[in-house]
Amino acid sequence: MGTARIPVAGGQDDARPLSGDKAQRIIEAMRESVARKGLAGATFDQVAREAGVSRGLLHYYFGTKEQLLVQAVRRDAELRLQSLEARLEPAKSGDDFVALMAQDLQEALAEDPDFTVLIFELFTLARRNEYVASEFAALLRSTRETVSAMLEGAQKRGAVKLAAPAECVTDVLFSVADGFALRMLGDPERDFSQSVAVAVGVVRPLLGGS
């Protein structure tokens, strides 16, 4: 994987090189620990043990649990956006786009609910931590810009006809998805298929669907 550039605690412009394999193990261990126990229950000792590195290494490269959590969520978000872009590529209509995005949400929650847990954990932490608030806002902004660019590209090739500016449509799509994600995680025994179908019908016209 090469070399990762990891922010240094207290230094927004500095970064220290960390081998891709170690960075991957550390971030994955942090991801799993926070998903299971929340940030309060995730300790550097535990993460270091699961990643097979020293506790000092975590402090040296990441500084705080908050910075490590941000890195974990950022990496996952980038991978998910790449996956979403590939999934939406063959869409030929607004109906296709909405159906594929709904499918992506349902599969993500079924196969990897931990990512959504991390997002909500980061949101909660952002309410009381300025560093996390800034990073979380940047992550939302980057995600919105990326998906908006996908929609604009689809509109240019005639696959969709947006009913509003791409960024506004993106905000609505993610707001609906986030709301469903919270409810699905909170009530995992319920079948949400009918509710998702209703939501698809509501947002479909935003992309020129029928």
Q: What are phi and psi of 3, to 5 degrees?
A: -120, 135
Question: In the prediction, which pLDDT does 19 show?
Answer: 57
Say what the pLDDT of residue 90 is: 85
Give the sign of the dihedral formed by CA 188, CA 191, CA 193, CA 196. Answer: negative
What percent of the chain has a predicted confidence (pLDDT) above 90? 39
- Does residue 6 have a pLDDT over 80? no
Within 10 angstroms of residue 12's Cβ, the number of other Cβ atoms is 9
Q: Check pLDDT > 80 for residue 14.
A: no
Give dist(CA 13, CA 158) in Å, integer: 42
What residue ranges define each of the domains in the chain, with the CATH number in brackets? Answer: 1-63 (1.10.10.60), 67-210 (1.10.357.10)
**Greater confidence, 161 or 39?**
161
- State the Cα–Cα distance between residues 94 and 205, nearest whole angstrom: 8
| Between 99 and 17, the higher pLDDT residue | 99
Split at pLDDT 50, 70, 90, the class of 9 is very low
164-188: average pLDDT: 94
Confidence label for 10 from pLDDT (cuts 50, 70 and 90) = very low
pLDDT of 17 > 60? The answer is no
pLDDT of residue 4: 44
CA distance linking residue 116 with residue 122, whole number of Å? 10
pLDDT band at 18 (very low <50, low <70, confident <90, very high): low
pTM to 2 decimals? 0.81
Rg (CA), the chain: 19
Query: 11: pLDDT confidence band, cut at 50, 70 and 90?
Result: very low
pLDDT of residue 151: 93
Q: How many CB atoms lie within 10 A of CB 142?
A: 14
Beta strands of the chain (E only): which ranges?
3-8, 11-19
Provide the pLDDT for residue 73: 87
**61 pLDDT more than 90:** no
